[in-house]
Structure 1
Amino acid sequence: MLSLFRKDPTKKLQKTYEAKLEKAMLAQRGGDIKTYSLLTEEAEKIRAEIEALQAEQKS
């Protein structure tokens, strides 16, 4: 019953991940490849965290 009121941490990370990817896309369109690379790297780290949390929840 208490699990009904717990917030899913992956949802927050997923929103952060999507925001980073969007910022990266806009940087790429603007010609700023260095920023694009940095934002994409950060997004991939967040994606790895999401996958780790999902694997932990399944087990």
Structure 2
Amino acid sequence: MFGLFKKKSEVEKLQATYKKLMEEAYKLQSINRSDSDQKYLEADNILKKIEALQAK
């Protein structure tokens, strides 16, 4: 209950975005391969940002 109003850190926000993009890419994989590849590329860029923040 004490964490109810706790704000998310930048890393937590990026991890949520990464997860969402990976799920979208997986769903698009069977429908439209080029859109799926684009989502995977966006997710990879987010992952690099997460790694850079964690390295600090």
TM-score by length of 2: 0.83
Residue 26 of structure 1 is matched in structure 2 by 27
Gaps of 5+ in 2: 1-5
Gaps of 5+ in 1: none
- Structure 1 residue runs of 4+, over 2 Å off? none
Within 2, Cα distance between the matches of 1:7 and 1:20? 19
Residue 17 of structure 1 is matched in structure 2 by 18
Percentage of identical aligned residues: 35
Q: Which has the higher helix share?
A: 1
Within 2, Cα distance between the matches of 1:17 and 1:6? 18
Pair 1:51-2:51 in alignment:
yes
Aligned-residue offset at 1:7: 3.8
CA RMSD between the two structures: 1.3
The number of residues matched between the two structures is 51
Q: Provide the secondary structure at the position in 1 that maps to 2:29.
A: helix
